[in-house]
Structure 1
Amino acid sequence: MRLRLAHLSDPHLSPFPKPTLGELVSKRVFGYANWVKNRKGSLVQADLDRLIADMRAQNPNHYCVTGDLVNIATDAEVAAARAWLEKLGPAQRVSVVLGNHDAYVPGAACRAVQAYGSYIPGGNFPYARRLGAVALVGVSTAVATPPLVASGRVGGSQLSSLAALLDRHDDAYKVVMIHHPPDASLASGRRGLTDVTAVREVLAAGCADLVLHGHTHKPSLTFLETPRGRAAVIGVPSASSDGSSHPPGAWAMIDIDTDARTVHLTRRGRVNGGESIRTIETVEIEANAVA
């Protein structure tokens, strides 16, 4: 079976709906100040639009969005994010997990799940969506944190469900979507996954074959050893980055051939300040055999 996935993350959608004074009486005041001072000029909707157009041109079977659709999770932002998802594609072709900005304040993650609806299959985490011989598994690391903290957590209850879900789909090639990288070398401390060791243990024991993440705003490729072989862990930059503060926006085109046991990773984005989207790099990854 052949399947093409389009992986994007951290769009931090703009233009930013102006928050009310009531909404700023919380951690949101710090995020709004950061947006005005630092992010407003470096996370650009036009760059995101160009990236989306390039994705469409490559005809993916499914879009994987690994969190941080919004900035400070106001109701207006979440409504705009829902509209953006509908523009990206129908729910049967788009899957979403939440990131720390989607859970910026207490209650925000629940409101996002309700708003995004069937883009989060079953309306809960973890979830699994079968795409033929591929099982797409969504995990949430989104928890509300204090100001200046951007950590995430999967938590014991979700980890237990994830372990059972991975076992249930052992006949499939298992692709896990998660926002924070399950790798402390990529993000740790106030920006990392607080239960990273437990998450890695569950992913390894459950024989995950591929892990897609965001959060770092940087491209990355690391590996996790499992009883079924090596799982590639793929990170992408912010899809809306103009390149001034972090690497320019890019997306990962992932071609999975479960019969030939190959995974072909193609990174596409802007190069050296150019406007056009082109191939940045290609990597061949040996796919683990489907049971």
Structure 2
Amino acid sequence: MIRLLHLSDVHFGAVDDRLLPPLLALARDLRPDVTVISGDLTQRARPGQFVEARAFIDRLPGPVLVVPGNHDMPLGNLALRLLAPFARYRRTIGPQLEPTLTLPGAVIQGVNTANPLVWKSGRLTRHSADRLTRTFAAAPKEAMRIAILHHAPIPAADGTPADMANPAGVLGTLAQAGCDIVLSGHTHMPHAGFAETAAGVLFLQVGTAISTRLKTDTNDFALIEIAPGNVTRHAWLARQGHGFAPEPVTRFLKVASGWQTVAAP
């Protein structure tokens, strides 16, 4: 079984500092095999914000796999945004925008959905789609195939349409590549969902782990336990800046027709 800690939208530059110590302590106590951050490490892609994000990453249990989000590109510096949108990210966080990690029983592929040509919505480029397809094709048959995206091609928890170009096409690409699980953020709302056109893909979103930019009444993150054919999701919520507390567990089972939610033991 793989234990994966899923964080997103930490937004250094707009952080509730009261949540940092309990989150880091709990992350160490949970002892995940891998920690994933699905984008928006910073609020405005400023150098100091990336330095804070890097220091945070260095304190997380590793290995840590990170992808950028739309907030990780400069907003006000148009020349930098168009010519080198991820220069600050690469310099401080790391050179890889689409990292790959192989674990016993799983392969994880990061996908950069941030689009420098627009402010908020995402995209899946042909280059990224090809990389994802190659990675999953090379993985052992029994391996769980997990993609990390900032933007998801399905509606948010409140029904808001997917904030991504050609979501139907993205769903098709994920399904054809053999993707089992997509972990994402962006909406600042935790959500678990399926798509009729990609029934074999389980979509798990978390909100914001430590940012003040809330769209619900709480910060959150998740610990995801992955075993052959089933996934267990442990959600952790914090309200009013206090430490995180566990929520009821959600379990998903993969059957011939796709994923289904089942009662947790």
Shorter-chain TM-score bucket reads 0.7 to 0.9
The residue correspondences of 1:260-271 to structure 2 (distance < 5 A) are 261-270=229-238
1:103: how far off? 1.8
Q: Please name the residue that 2:6 is paired with.
A: 7
Give the corresponding residue for 1:238: 208
* Cα distance in 2 between the residues matched to 1:225 and 1:113: 36
Moved over 6 A (4+): none
Give the Å deviation of 1:242: 5.4
Cα distance in structure 2, aligned partners of 1:65 and 1:131:
17
Note closer, same or farther for the CA distance 1:49–1:145 as it changes in structure 2 (3 Å cut): farther
Structure 1, unaligned stretches of length 5 or more? 17-39
> In the superposition, relative to structure 1, how do residues 274 and 79 fare at CA in structure 2: closer, same or farther (>3 Å)?
closer
Q: Cα deviations across residues 94-128 of structure 1 (Å, max 9, x unaligned)?
A: 000110001234123233134222xx6xx243x42
Q: What whole-Å deviation, never above 9, does each CA across 1:65-111 have from its counterpart, x for those lacking one?
A: 00100011112222222222112245xx1000110001234123233
Say whether the 8 Å CA contact 1:100–1:151 is kept in structure 2.
yes
Name the one with the larger helix percent.
1
Asked if 1:110 is matched to 2:82, the reply is: no
Q: Which one is further off, 4-13 or 261-270?
A: 261-270
Output the CA distance in 1 between the equivalents of 2:225 and 2:243: 22
For the 8 Å contact 2:16–2:241, the answer to whether it is kept is no
**CA displacement at 1:63 relative to structure 2:** 0.3
Q: Does 1:101 align with 2:71?
A: yes
Please give the alpha-carbon distance, in whole angstroms, between the structure 1 residues aligned to 2:33 and 2:61: 11
Cα deviation for residue 45 of structure 1 reads 2.3
In structure 2, the residue matched to 1:68 is 40
Aligned pair count reads 246
Question: Which piece of structure 1 moves more, 161-170 or 242-251?
Answer: 242-251
Please, which runs of 5 or more residues in structure 2 have no aligned partner?
Answer: 76-80, 257-265
Amino acid of the structure 1 residue aligned with 2:66: V
Please give the secondary structure, in 2, of the residue aligned with 1:78: helix
Structure 1 residues 225 and 169: alpha-carbon distance in aligned structure 2, compared to 1, 3 A threshold: farther
Is residue 19–residue 243 contact of structure 2 (8 Å, CA) maintained in 1? no
Q: Provide the C-alpha distance between the structure 1 equivalents of 2:232 and 2:28, rounded to a whole number of angstroms.
A: 18
Secondary structure at the counterpart of residue 88 of structure 1: coil
The reply on whether 1:283 has 2:250 as its aligned counterpart is yes
Change (3 A) 1:88 1:195: same
Any conservation in 2 of the 1:221–1:233 contact (CA below 8 Å)? yes
State TM-score, norm by structure 2: 0.83
User: Which residue identity lines up with residue 277 of structure 1 in the other structure?
Assistant: F
